[in-house]
Amino acid sequence: MHRYRRVDMPLIACIEGYRINPERARMKLQDILSTAKKQDASDIHLVSGHAPMIRVHTVITPMDCPILTPESVHEALSEMITKVQMARFEESKDLDFSFEIEGLGRYRVNAHQQRGGIGLAMRAIKSDAPPLEELNLPEIISRLTFLPRGLVLVTGDTGSGKSTTLASMIQSMNDRYRKHIITLEDPVEYTFESNKCLIEQRELGDDMPSFASGLKHALRQDPDIILVGEMRDLDTTALAISAAETGHLVLSTLHTVNASQTVERIIDMYPAGQQNQIRSMLGNTLQAVVSQTLFSRMDQPGMVPAVEVMLCTPAVRNIIRESRTFEIPNVIDTNRQMGMISLDNSIAQLYFNSLITREDAIAQAAYPDKLERQLAA
């Protein structure tokens, strides 16, 4: 694909803990990425004025390298993107894109201006979406892939695994259905090969000017399932809800930490005069909210998610319509037999299964004092 360019550019010298005289030897970006991959880094940061940094299981660690210069980072960026993308970056001072290095993998990249220099934040993307059963998610998440229509939201902070969960859900449906799936992403992360489904993937900037535009036109492309990378503005949100209301299954994300906050965030996007109407529409179309938080595992290297799940039962739909979202946590707690689970109960399960530490559990709990008593019981 034209947007994924093979890179072969020099940076400054550093490799595997050995220092090399930068005046005598220059190193290629793929060597830094290769070192990062060997250390199982999820993120790589190249920022002028700093040594390259990698994130391994949530911890930022500097590589044993000289400080990057503005010229070296600019050179790296210019080798990864087209002239059109470079012009866009120079105008807006920010650019999101993805690229691929053969033999190493694909990366989601944000280029940004900082203190007169350039910074590159690179997220390693696995080529194939893992099976849902390998993600340590509640079984109810798999059942959501059988929904015929409606809106399913996966929420959480940046880096909480939202994209991986959605990609695994899409792959599960790709292996089972004969349907048309359209994804609208910024940028494309996991790439899919059409199996039983026909899958089209569109990337913001290259394939569409905005999520709202891509979603508007997607509705005319005979889709059954639509993945919207993020409901980040009113136009996109309104079109996503409308698509769900007209019989499509719509999957999307929000940067919210729980179900009640997710509902309120959507309502607050609308002018006050439209909020009652959108509460009714959302109450009719929303099927589930899945909120994720990642923890470092204590039993082995890696991460494990704690997950809050809200299913839209008739009681939840009435709560949304009547603006009583403060009651959602109680409804989740009292409907565990249906597959709902609160964040703190999910965290407690991880702790009792010896997957996370007590300190991490309490630190990320919604109600730390209550969870501390639960763990001590």
Q: Is the pLDDT of residue 295 over 80?
A: yes
Does the pLDDT of residue 27 top 60, yes or no? no
Q: How far is CA 346 from CA 79, 88, 137, in A?
A: 44, 43, 10
More confident residue, 17 or 238: 238
Per-residue confidence at 342, pLDDT binned at 50, 70, 90? Answer: very high
In the prediction, which pLDDT does 298 show? Answer: 93
Least confidently predicted of 103-112, 161-170, 212-221: 103-112
Cβ proximity of 56 and 40 under 8 Å: yes
- Highest mean pLDDT, choosing among 3-7, 59-63, 324-328: 324-328
End-to-end CA, the chain: 56
Mean pLDDT in residue range 350-361 = 96
Cα separation, 151 vs 174, in Å, equals 18
Q: Where are the alpha helices (DSSP H) in the chain?
A: 29-38, 70-80, 83-92, 139-144, 162-176, 211-218, 234-245, 259-268, 275-285, 314-321, 328-333, 343-352, 358-363, 368-376
pLDDT for position 13 = 43
Among 21-30, 51-60, 336-345, the range scoring the smallest mean pLDDT is 21-30
Q: Residue 201: count other Cβ atoms within 10 Å of its Cβ.
A: 19
Q: What is the pLDDT of residues 8-23, one digit of tens each?
A: 444 544 444 434 333 3
Q: 219 — phi, psi (to 5°)?
A: -65, -15
Least confident of 2-6, 70-74, 89-93, 335-339: 2-6
**pLDDT class of 1 with cuts at 50, 70, 90:** very low
User: Cα separation of 302 and 241, whole Å?
Assistant: 35
| Percent of the chain at pLDDT exceeding 70 | 93
pTM here is 0.83
Least reliable range by pLDDT among 43-47, 65-69, 294-298: 65-69
Query: What's the rounded Cα separation, in Å, for the pair 108 and 97?
Result: 6
Using pLDDT thresholds of 50, 70 and 90, give the confidence band for residue 2: very low
Q: How confident is the model at residue 103 (pLDDT cuts 50, 70, 90)?
A: confident
Give me the residues paired with residue 106 across strands: 100, 125
Average pLDDT, the chain: 89
pLDDT tops 90 at residue 43: yes
- Closest C-alpha among 178, 221, 175, 169 to residue 200: 221
Structure tokens given for 23: 């005046």
Pick the CATH number of 10-125 from 3.30.450.90, 3.30.565.10, 3.90.120.10, 3.40.50.1370: 3.30.450.90
Residues recorded for the chain? 377
| Region of poorest pLDDT, from 27-31, 137-141, 253-257, 283-287 | 27-31
pLDDT, position 18: 35
Cα Rg, the chain, nearest whole Å: 22
| Top CATH class, 132-376 | alpha beta
**Per-residue pLDDT tens digits for 126-135:** 778 899 999 9
Query: Which 3 state secondary structure label does DSSP give 210?
Result: coil
Mean pLDDT of 95-112: 88
Residue 205 to residues 89, 98, 143, Cα–Cα distance (Å): 12, 11, 33
What residues does each domain of the chain span?
10-125, 132-376
More confident residue, 66 or 177: 177
Residue, of 373 and 105, whose pLDDT is higher: 373
